[in-house]
Structure formats: C-alpha cells, structure tokens
Amino acid sequence: MKDPELIDVLIVAADIVLALGLRACLQQYGYTVAGIASDAAAAERFFKETDVDIILVDINTIPGARDGIDIMAELIKTKRVPVVYLIEEADAGAISRVKQTYPVSFLPKPCNGNHVCIAVELAMHNFISCAPPDLTADVIATARDAINRKKNDGVDKEIILRQGSSIFIKRNFRFVKISLHEILYIEADGNYVHIVVKDKKFTIRLSLMQAIRRINYSRFARINRSAVVNVDAIQSFNKEQVEIGQYEIAIGKNFKESFFRQLGFQ
C-alpha cells in the first residue's frame, strides 16, 4: 500500500534506460514512482488509475502520433498537476506548444540524481505558488533556493505549501504530503513548531503564527499561547483542557472565549 505521505511521480519516457535511471534517482530521494509509461495509452492509464502528484515527461522520444507535449495537454484537462519536461533540444514551435501545458520545471538531458531532485522540488513549489488561482490554494510560503539548500541540524527549512486539502512540508530532499484533516494540533517550541498527526510529529523552523497563516485552515482553533488544535479532532473537552488522541492540551485563560465561540458556544 502506498504511503499517503510520499509524493507519487509518473514517468513518461520511451527510453527504458532513461526511465529506470529516473526511477532509481527518485526512489533514492524518498519519492515513489506511480509507473513508467512508454506511450500515450500507458500514460493515460497510469494517470487515471493512480493519484499522481507530478509528471516527468521526455519531450522527444514518445512513439506514435502524439508526442510528450500532446500527452500532457490531454492529461491536464482531467487534473492539473506539476509537469517537468526532459529536454535535449527543442525548436521554437515545440517551446510554444509546451507553454500551453503550464510546465513548471525543465530538466536537461543527460541528468543526474541531484538535478532530478532539484527539478521535482522546484516543480512542486512553482506549481503551487504560480498556477492560476482556480487550480490551487493561495501561495503559502516562499521556497528556499533549492540548489543551495542544506540540512540545518535535522530541522526542516521554513517552507509549507498548501494545495487544496493538503499541505506539503519540505523534509531534507523531498516534500511530504499531509492531509489537513489528519493534523491533530500544532505546538510552538521556541523558534520551531511541531505539527502533530497520529503517531508522528513534524518539526519545522517557523513561529506558531507564521505556521497558522501559511496553512490557513479554518478548522484550527487557538487554545493557548503555544498551541492550535484541529477542532474536528477533539474527543472531549472541559473548561480547562481538550483531549485529542493521547494528548491533553490546556486551554489558556485569554483564549477560552474565542475557542468556545468557534465550537458554537456563545
């Protein structure tokens, strides 16, 4: 069973050596590969049957009447996802056609593993932050320079991307997808916040207020200076605290009125 937190990538390329190399690179950096499609029919089948998050497509080598650009033009009519084109050379006509499919990143051939990782990371950010407003939620954060990124004592860079009912958090060399309804609460810890889901905790370098603004989820309620909770995850509460899963979180005196109002108590 697919881990719902991992980003699923569809590879569209007729060159099997290239495709297998891309798959190995992606898996090395923590992504999953939904499938390798060598023609239009296979690409359409994988795209329909799998919850694809991003597509890598070789622009030149797809056999048949439809090339990689034609395939992408058809697929994004069903669902808009970030597209990364692999390009060795392309004429002005091809570039003009590419523009109509909302590409968000390009990967020159030949490419190495680090370049693949950078292209995918940039594509996720560019798609969420630059796509037309009817395709994604508002921009939630500005991505750091992906090429120069470094781990900082094991703590994520300050990046949260919101897309629909999910957020993407950058963790080292990949994005992790978290459904908003799975978040139990968010807690401040100095210059960091912990995003707590069932059995897991994600730590990022942001203030609590920055995290709240960037996630922008209407079901969050601030209950003390250091925590917001997902009201849909509350199992019980009284005037002093709420219970969410195995956690008990105190309700601050200055936050009681607004918290209970959000729950519907006047």
86 belongs to a structural domain = yes
Instruction: Yes or no: say if 202 and 185 are a contact pair by the CB < 8 Å rule.
Output: no
Full residue range of the structural domain in which residue 72 is found: 8-130
Do 254 and 177 share a structural domain? yes
Instruction: Yes or no: say if 54 and 120 are a contact pair by the CB < 8 Å rule.
Output: yes
Do 72 and 26 share a structural domain? yes
258 belongs to a structural domain = yes
250 belongs to a structural domain = yes
**What is the pLDDT at residue 155?**
39
**What is the pLDDT at residue 34?**
86
Between the alpha carbon of residue 201 and those of residues 8, 128, 196, 251, the distances in Å are 22, 24, 4, 21
Structural domain tally of the chain? 2
Nearest to 137 by CA among 174, 166, 104, 171: 166
Residue/partner pairs of 125-132 with CB below 8 Å, 24 or more apart: 125/159, 125/161, 126/82, 127/54, 127/81, 127/82, 127/102, 128/161, 128/162, 128/163, 128/168, 129/161, 130/104, 131/80, 131/102, 131/104
39 belongs to a structural domain = yes
pTM flag (> 0.85) = no
Q: What is the CATH number of the domain that holds 175?
A: 2.40.50.1020
Nearest to 70 by CA among 45, 94, 42: 94
Q: Parallel, antiparallel, or unpaired for β 105-108 and 8-12?
A: unpaired
**What is the pLDDT at residue 229?**
95
Do 167 and 124 share a structural domain? no
172 belongs to a structural domain = yes
137 belongs to a structural domain = no
**What is the pLDDT at residue 148?**
33
pLDDT digit string (tens) for the chain, length 266 residues: 455 556 788 999 888 888 888 888 887 777 888 899 888 888 888 888 888 888 898 876 666 666 777 788 888 777 778 888 887 765 566 666 666 666 566 777 777 777 787 788 777 776 766 554 443 333 223 223 322 333 333 334 446 878 788 888 877 667 788 999 999 999 998 878 999 998 888 888 888 888 888 888 889 999 998 999 999 999 999 989 999 988 999 999 888 888 888 887 75
Do 166 and 54 share a structural domain? no
244 belongs to a structural domain = yes
Q: What is the CATH number of the domain that holds 37?
A: 3.40.50.2300
181 belongs to a structural domain = yes
Do 126 and 12 share a structural domain? yes
Do 174 and 108 share a structural domain? no
